[in-house]
Amino acid sequence: MSATALILGATGQTGQQLLQSLLSSSFYSRVGEYGRRTTALEKIPADLQDKLEQHTIDFEKLDTSGLNAKPWDVVFITLGTTRKNAGSAEKFVKIDREYVINAAKEAKVSDNQRLVYLSSAGANSSAPFLYPQSKGLTEEGLARLGYKDTIVFRPGFLAGTDRGETRVAESIFGLPFSLQQLAGNQHRHVGQGPRGGGQAGERQPPPAAGATKVTLKDGTSYTVIGNAGAIELAKLDL
C-alpha cells in the first residue's frame, strides 16, 4: 500500500525534517509541498526530486492555491510562528491559527483523508497565555473539520527557537528538560514522528507511542502524541 502526502510549512526546522522523511519513505508515493516559500531543490536528493511537487501559495487567497485539486491521503501541517516573529498578537493568531485551519479546510476534499498537525507541549484552549491558547484552539478547530483521523503531535519547546521565549515557556509550564537536552536529534525525531503517525493513523499507533484521545464537549475527538511517542513513531519502517 502507498499513499500521497501534502505538507504545509516544510521550510521550518521541523518541517524540513518531515519533508525529507516523507520523500525517503516508500509508503508515500507522491509528496506535495505547499507554502509561502518552498524548499530549494538543491536541498533535495536528486533521486527523490521526481517524487516532489511544489506550489507557492498565498494564504490570503486559498481559493487559488490548488490545495483542493486532488485528494491527498495525508495532510501534514508544521506551519506556525511566534508572537515575536509575527510582530503582534493579531498577526500571530492569523498565521498560527487562521492560516492553519483555513488551509486544512481547503485541502479536505474527501472523508478518507488523514490530518497530522504539529502543535506544542502545553497546548490548551483555556490557557491564559496566547501561545498555548492559540495552539489549543487550533487543535480543536482542526479536529472539527471532519477528517477521518486527526493526529496532533505536542513536542516540547524546540531547540533553535527564540531562547527568551523558550525560557518563559519553561517557567510557565515547568517543562522537565533544558535546551541542551533537547538539542541534537530532537528536530529529527519530531520531524520523522509525524511521518510515522500519518502512516499508522489513529487506530493503529504502536502502544509505545503513548497516544491519548482528547474528546471535546461536542463529542469531537482527536489523538495526541508527545515527544516520547514521536520518537517511537519515527522508528516505523520507511
Positions marked catalytic: 131, 135
Helix (H, G, I), strand (E, B) or coil at 119: coil
Alpha carbon 103 to chain centroid, angstroms: 12
Look up residue 19 and give its three cell numbers. Answer: 519533508
Task: Identify the residue whose cell numbers are 516508500.
Answer: 26
Query: Which stretches within 186-226 are classed as H helix?
Result: 186-200
- Long-range CB pairs of 49-56, under 8 A, 24+ apart, other chains included: 51/23, 52/23
Task: Identify the residue whose cell numbers are 474528546.
Answer: 215
Give the integer Cα–Cα distance in Å for 56 and 130. Answer: 29
- Are 107 and 68 in contact by the 8 Å Cβ rule? The answer is yes
In 9-44, the DSSP E strands lie at 28-35
Among 231, 160, 226, 224, residue whose Cα is nearest residue 191: 231
The strand pair at 221-225 and 212-215 is best described as antiparallel
Look up residue 1 and give its three cell numbers. Answer: 500500500
Give the integer Cα–Cα distance in Å for 40 and 100. Answer: 23
